Amino acid sequence: MNAIIALSLFGITNLFLGFLNNRKILLPATLLFVLIAFGLNLADWNHEYYWFHNMLKTNNLSINFTSIILVATALVVAISRGFGNDEEHTHPAEYYGILLFSVVGAIMMVTFQSLFMLFVGIEILSVAMYVLTGSDKRNLRSNEAALKYFLMGSFATGIMLFGIALVYGATGSFDINGIGNMVNQAKLQDIMLNPYGPILYGGIILIFVGLLFKISAAPFHFWTPDVYDGAPSIFTAFMSTVVKTAGVAATYRLLSISFPAVYGLWGNPLVYITCLTLFIGNITAVYQQSFKRMLAYSSISHAGYLLITVLAKTPTTNSSILFYSLAYSIATISAFAVLMVVSEAQSKSGKPDESFTALNGLATNNPFLAFVLTVSMLSLAGIPLTAGFFGKFFIFADAFSNVSSLFKTIAVVAILMSTVGIYYYFKPIIAAYLKKGDLEKIELSPIYKLTLIITTALTILLGIAPDLVKNIF
């Protein structure tokens, strides 16, 4: 909670730091702000608080999610390199400021107690993302992505808001516990006979659709490849980690607290949605020529893996989601970090080259970058000795521990799809080690190098000893 207030003020501070005409201080200042917020967030550890008339509720789960979001933000800020030295066409103060504001929205999404806060949080996060997607003003693809994201995203928010209104009309409450009680009562006396039952069902479905759009689950994923591909890489890294974690956390919180009584209503469609997401994300990723677009499809498929454990509802679901989000976030950020420097070094006629061929021969002159890329790809594919392996392992274990035989089917689909994943995650590794290329040595700034070392070390560490963080979660 205090992190929300602090980050709001820090975001404003950042905007005004931009008037100092000193681009060097922005990155360390933002990093410092995120770290302060991290400390403030941990201060509530092991306490359950309701804030401001039950608007927010912090407990260990929400603090863990907030921590993952802040860690991912810090890593993204660290690889932003101050947004270049192009004095005229970049606005680093604005980028950092909006980034901090969007983290405020993300934290609201993981700590909300009232649906009102969920809506305001999603709106802050989304509006910030629309702007950042289109921040590369002279790039037509970025403009197109921003417009697409804005139109589709605002429709999704509208659908979700309509759902919230219907649920409020049926239950008379915005509070997720209050709604949960009302749904339980309605369930006891056969929901369709309840005077407001049908409207409640409709509302739940609409909220559900809006949230699934935000985490880009199929069939609501159509915006994802274009937006992730068109946005500047650094913001794509932010979107596919922070936004996805916040979206999954919000979905999980709402479904597990408010609507467990009507599991059949959202569980049955979610089975198909999960399978479809896994299938579309992984199969389409195979056919991509662009590394960045492949990462976009891979982020769709990871939404599918996360949804499995939301669906499975076992006692270990909390820690599985947290571990998977963390493993996925750090691996994705290091993949994007490599992609950014390599694509800029390989830029053709001023445009960064983001295809797989840009990675050709990366290992000859840049063994460090190639190693970082390999570890992150192995982690995303779920190969043992990386964090991604245990992420997937915990999720499949959740699925198998559920008594329903349906989950065995889902788990089999997911395992099949992750073998497909191995195929396309090895493409960049093969390009980096086996193909010939003429890539010069790329100079990395110390902080960039340090970030890559941290993400890689963390990925390997969590792959060897997952209990280090699993016990905290």
Say which DSSP state 62 is in. Answer: H
Give min distance, CB of 108 to another protein, in A: 7
Question: Could you say which of 117, 326, 337, 381 contacts another protein (CB under 8 A)?
Answer: 117
Give min distance, CB of 95 to another protein, in A: 8
Of the listed pieces 50-58, 307-315, 330-338, 369-377, which binds another protein according to CB under 8 A?
Answer: 50-58
Q: What residues numbered 71-100 form the site for another protein, per CB under 8 A? A: 88-89, 91, 94, 97-98
Question: Could you say which of 49, 52, 287, 423 contacts another protein (CB under 8 A)?
Answer: 52
The CA distance from 40 to 26, in Å, is 21
Question: Could you say which of 33, 130, 324, 336 contacts another protein (CB under 8 A)?
Answer: 130
Classified as helix, coil or strand, 131 is helix
Question: Could you say which of 24, 137, 141, 351 contacts another protein (CB under 8 A)?
Answer: 137
Q: Are 34 and 81 a contacting pair, CB within 8 Å?
A: no
The reply on whether position 155 binds another protein by CB under 8 A is: no
Residue length, the chain? 473
Cis peptide upstream of residue 219 (ω within 30 degrees of 0):
yes
The reply on whether position 56 binds another protein by CB under 8 A is: yes
Convert residues 297-336 into a mask of x (bound to another protein by CB under 8 A) and - (unbound).
----------------------------------------
Q: What residues numbered 196-255 form the site for another protein, per CB under 8 A? A: 196-199, 201-202
Question: Could you say which of 120, 257, 397, 460 contacts another protein (CB under 8 A)?
Answer: 120
User: Helices (DSSP H) in 172-290: which residue ranges?
Assistant: 176-188, 197-214, 223-230, 233-238, 244-257, 263-286
The CA distance from 28 to 409, in Å, is 48
Q: Are 286 and 422 a contacting pair, CB within 8 Å?
A: no
Residue 419: which residues within 8 A CB-CB, separation 6 or more? none
The reply on whether position 344 binds another protein by CB under 8 A is: no
The reply on whether position 131 binds another protein by CB under 8 A is: yes
The reply on whether position 128 binds another protein by CB under 8 A is: yes
What angle do the packed helices 140-171 and 115-133 form, to 10 degrees? 170
Q: Which amino acid is at 466?
A: P
Q: Are 224 and 163 a contacting pair, CB within 8 Å?
A: no
Residue 130: which residues within 8 A CB-CB, separation 6 or more? 146, 149, 150, 153
Give min distance, CB of 253 to another protein, in A: 17
List residues binding another protein (CB under 8 A): 4, 8, 11-12, 15-16, 19, 51-53, 55-56, 88-89, 91, 94, 97-98, 101-102, 104-105, 108, 114, 116-117, 120, 123-124, 127-128, 130-131, 134-135, 137, 192, 195-199, 201-202
